[in-house]
Amino acid sequence: MKFDLFSRKEGKGYVPIDRVRELADKGFSEAEIIDILRKEGFSPKEISDALLQALRLGVESKPKKEEKKEEEVEFEELPIEQEIENYPNEEYIEYLVASRTAELEEKLREFSIRYEELAKKVDEFRELVNQVITHKEREENEVLQAIKELKESVDGMKAKVSALDRVLREMLPALIESVRILGEVVQKMKE
């Protein structure tokens, strides 16, 4: 069983074309006009008929050569009159909803693409940071290893110098004694 949106007998009993034009002249969008009329007690059929008639009157009263102005009513952006007549009232509303949601879906697709691009850039940045950190850690490890090797080398030199010092201390008195004896021998030979 199909639900007939316009079969209810609600509403005010007339089509509010003048009210639609008045609201449009004040700059209200189509969705805002529909919401206002609904709150004022008009039925969906009365609202739809008012929008269609306001559109027809706007199209018929507009001179053919006149260019669109920015302040013109948004209804002129709706499908042309022949296209509107191809839709029963329920389908027309579905068409309007579908066209509006299509715009929203396009915006969501654009947002999704931008989000994916941003996520990709964040991943690339994260990878770059990890490479820098790894490189710095490698450099730090190399510096620490060089310091360790230098310390071991210095410790080895200290041990050698200490051993040399000990040997010199032990040999120095004997060397001094040998030099003194040689000096005496040289002295005796000169005499």
What confidence score (pLDDT) does residue 93 get? 76
What confidence score (pLDDT) does residue 91 get? 66
CA torsion angle 87 90 92 96 (round to 10) = -160
What confidence score (pLDDT) does residue 92 get? 67
What confidence score (pLDDT) does residue 2 get? 42
What confidence score (pLDDT) does residue 140 get? 92
- Return the structure tokens found at 57: 């009157």
What confidence score (pLDDT) does residue 37 get? 87
What confidence score (pLDDT) does residue 122 get? 94
What distances in angstroms separate CA 29 from CA 22, 34, 35, 140, 170, one per listed residue? 12, 9, 10, 65, 109
Q: Report the SS3 class of residue 69.
A: coil
Q: Model pTM?
A: 0.33
Over the stretch 132-190, which tens digit does the pLDDT of each residue have? 999 999 999 999 999 999 999 999 899 899 888 888 888 888 888 888 898 888 888 88
Q: Are 35 and 27 in contact (CB under 8 A)?
A: no
Question: Of 86, 100, 107, 95, which Cα lies nearest the Cα of 32?
Answer: 100
Using the predicted structure, report yes or no on whether residue 1 has a pLDDT greater than 70.
Answer: no
Tell me how far apart the alpha carbons of residues 53 and 48 are, in angstroms, rounded to a whole number. 9
Over the stretch 43-102, which tens digit does the pLDDT of each residue have? 888 888 888 888 877 655 544 444 444 444 444 444 444 444 444 467 667 777 877 888
What confidence score (pLDDT) does residue 138 get? 92
Mean pLDDT for 104-124 is 92
What confidence score (pLDDT) does residue 57 get? 78
